[in-house]
Amino acid sequence: MSLNRRDFLKIAGITALGVGAASAFEVLSGKQLEAALKAAPLTAGKRWAMVVDTRKLREEDYHDVITACHTSHNVPDFSGTKDEIKWIWAEPFENAFPDSPNEYVKPEVKDKPFLVFCNQCGDAPCVRVCPTKATFKGEDGITMMDMHRCIGCRYCMAACPYGARSFNFRDPRTYFADKEVPNREFPTRTRGVVEKCNFCTERLAKGLYPACVEACKSNALIFGDLDDPNSEVRRILRANFSIRRKPQLGTDPSIFYIV
């Protein structure tokens, strides 16, 4: 077959055009998808944050919130042992805020347990020290864990000033051996990895609020985007005086407490 230069160029040009058009179409459909996702209320935060309004917290809330979190993430109950795994738990004022020693603090605050969990720090020490980048910052400000990459060195646990991380000394499946795994859609962990609150990133992706926020009947937990000046968290932070845990360490926590 004889193909002269002119014909070759024509064919090559048309082919290139076709390939270009196809990829342009792909980009377009991808963009549309992204726009559709952005339109959903809870999937496009730049820096997710939470306000804990301790004035509103009722006694029964603690149990509800902790159970909701731990069941939706299949956290085994090894409480009372050194192998305990906790994502969210209650801590007395003096332990949650050890840098505010004040023996005359009002009794309602002093005796109240504070709900504590991962602070989703703006400058997270755990992220900085992780040798495998198993702990990393997501684009939405969540300090994420990639369990597939965690080698269990526990450097992050040493770095976290809030004790928000737990190590799986035991295989969590041993806890679920004789009982039903609470949430079959969410994985358990395996022995030898560190875990912590993930701000319910899997729920946010579906447009749902975190499990703790949903479970707290007194609406004491408020969730929203700290980067959006019109968000509810920003509105509440404007209207109330709030404190954060150990702010002098420069970790820039995203969890705010109103006392």
Binding site for other proteins (CB under 8 A): 29, 33, 36-37, 74, 136, 138-140, 144, 146-148, 173, 181, 184-190, 201, 205
Q: What is the DSSP string of 149-215?
A: T-----HHHHH-TT---EE-SS-HHHHTTTS--S-TTS----TT-EE---TTHHHHTTTPPPHHHHH
| Phi-psi label, residue 207: left if phi above 0, alpha if psi -120 to 50, beta otherwise | left
Cβ-Cβ contacts under 8 Å for 229 (sequence gap 6 or more)? none
Measured from the CB atom, is 24 or 205 closer to other proteins?
205
Cβ-Cβ contacts under 8 Å for 79 (sequence gap 6 or more)? 86
Measured from the CB atom, is 75 or 216 closer to other proteins?
75
53 φ, ψ (degrees, to nearest 5): -90, 95
Measured from the CB atom, is 136 or 169 closer to other proteins?
136
Measured from the CB atom, is 23 or 29 closer to other proteins?
29
Q: How far is the CB of 186 from other proteins (least distance, A)?
A: 8
Q: How far is the CB of 53 from other proteins (least distance, A)?
A: 28
Q: How far is the CB of 138 from other proteins (least distance, A)?
A: 6
Q: How far is the CB of 33 from other proteins (least distance, A)?
A: 6
Largest CA distance in the chain: 97
- Give the separation between CA 162 and CA 159, rounded to whole angstroms: 9
Burial class for 125, CB neighbours closer than 10 Å (0-12, 13-18, 19+): buried
User: In the block, which residue shows the tokens 């190590």?
Assistant: 167
Q: How far is the CB of 189 from other proteins (least distance, A)?
A: 6
Measured from the CB atom, is 65 or 210 closer to other proteins?
210
3-class secondary structure, 93: helix
Q: Which two tokens stand for residue 3?
A: 């193909």
Measured from the CB atom, is 147 or 157 closer to other proteins?
147
Measured from the CB atom, is 60 or 77 closer to other proteins?
77
Q: How far is the CB of 26 from other proteins (least distance, A)?
A: 9
Q: How far is the CB of 15 from other proteins (least distance, A)?
A: 22
Residue (of 137, 97, 134, 133) closest to 120 by Cα position? 137
